[in-house]
Amino acid sequence: MIVIGAEEVRRRLDHATCIPLMREAMIALHQGRSQQLLRGIIDLGEGAAFGVMPGALEGAGFGAKIVSVFPASAAQGKSHQGLIVLFDPRTGAPAGVIDGGEVTAIRTASASAAATAVLARPDATRLFILGTGEQAWHHAAAIRHVRPLESVVFWGRTPQKAQAMAQRVREELGLPARAVASVAEAARNADIICTTTASAEPILFSRDVADGTHINAVGSSRAGPSEIDIDLVARARFIPDHREGVLAQGAEFLNARAAGLVTDAHVLPGIGAVLSGDAPGRTDAREVTIYKSLGSIVQDLACAAWLLAGRG
């Protein structure tokens, strides 16, 4: 059995490689060539949680990710920590154990980039990221591969962290980047918005989002925390990573449904249907689109299989 640690994942799995892996994994999920159960979540209190995500992906194998989310660790740049265990589909034997935190960081942003490629307007060039942690960095690094970004703007509750993130993007990615104090002002001038925070209450509001914007709602991965308001959910074309998962655990949608603004029909077929061409994505240049990301085990299995194959 092969063990792959965080450093090797960082060294080998870049966003340019991961984006097509995510595209194919989500198409496989849509086409029934994979299986996944709803994640099991244990609430540990004070914003901490432990999750188990089992699944199988044709051609890759079957397995699970076990992961913890701890606010104290997130503050140090480690939003998710855990392990992915992949089993050989031919023998049933464990094939490898891979650092789950690093894979999660890379594949989450890469999946958002794959969604952005088919949902954002072709002329979208202005990216606004809410958050200053691990996912904020990875979303800037990933989305530059699917749109020619002319500006990247960061907002965070701690201005110094937003400024540091903007400086890192300028220095390491060579993109024009800056920090802002106002979510509303930055949102009004953005073509693509990514919410990557641990906020328990909405911080992005419909009134501040311009027509034609694409949003990747990423920070909340379970029922409870909600980064965007219910009016924005109701206004937008709402496309999930996995429809069944979002119907059960997508906090923003659940809040809008509880308020009577939407029904289950508002959650459209998953992003895999759009990526495969079986369902429409954006239908109008003025339409607001939302890709709701909870995270899917098939994404982790696709990355794990690719990493193990490179060791072959």
Fold agreement (2-104+297-309, 121-292):
no
Average pLDDT, the chain: 94
- Collapsing DSSP to helix, strand or coil, 231 comes out as helix
**Is residue 235 pLDDT above 80, yes or no?**
yes
Residue with tokens 């419909």: 206
Between 43 and 130, residue with greater pLDDT: 130
Say whether pLDDT at 75 is over 80: no
**How would you class 5 by CB atoms within 10 Å of its CB: exposed for 0-12, middle for 13-18, buried for 19 or more?**
exposed
Domain boundaries, the chain: 2-104+297-309, 121-292
pLDDT of residue 39: 86
Give the length of the chain. Answer: 312
Superfamily of domain 121-292: NAD(P)-binding Rossmann-like Domain (3.40.50.720)
Describe the chain by its helix, strand, coil percentages, rounded to 5. 40, 25, 35
Confidence of residue 54 (pLDDT cuts 50, 70, 90): very high
Q: What local confidence, expressed as pLDDT, does residue 34 receive? A: 95
Beta strands at 177-179 and 151-155: parallel, antiparallel or unpaired: parallel
Range 137-150 average pLDDT: 98
- The answer on pLDDT for 26 being more than 90 is yes
Lowest mean per-residue pLDDT among 73-82, 247-256, 279-288:
73-82
Higher-confidence position of 140 and 77 = 140
d(CA 175, CA 152): 7
Position 10 pLDDT exceeds 70: yes
pLDDT band at 6 (very low <50, low <70, confident <90, very high): very high
Query: What is the model's pLDDT at position 76?
Result: 64
Q: pLDDT at residue 139 above 90?
A: yes
pLDDT value for 154? 98
Bridge-based pairing state of the strands 61-69 and 48-57: antiparallel
Question: In this predicted model, what pLDDT tens digit does every residue of 161-218 receive, in sequence order?
Answer: 999 999 999 999 999 999 999 999 999 999 999 999 988 899 999 999 999 999 999 9
Residue 303 has pLDDT above 90, yes or no: yes
Is the pLDDT confidence value at 46 over 90? no
Report the CATH number of the 2-104+297-309 domain: 3.30.1780.10
Q: How confident is the model at residue 312 (pLDDT cuts 50, 70, 90)?
A: low
Q: Give the integer Cα–Cα distance in Å for 160 and 177.
A: 14
Write the single-letter amino acid at 44: L
Region 88-108: mean pLDDT is: 95
Q: Is the pLDDT of residue 83 over 90?
A: yes
Residue 224, pLDDT > 80, answer no
- Does residue 16 carry a pLDDT above 90? yes
pLDDT the model gives residue 213: 98
- pLDDT at site 222: 76
Helices (H), ranges, 6-153? 6-12, 15-30, 71-74, 100-119, 134-143
pLDDT at residue 47, rounded to an integer:
76
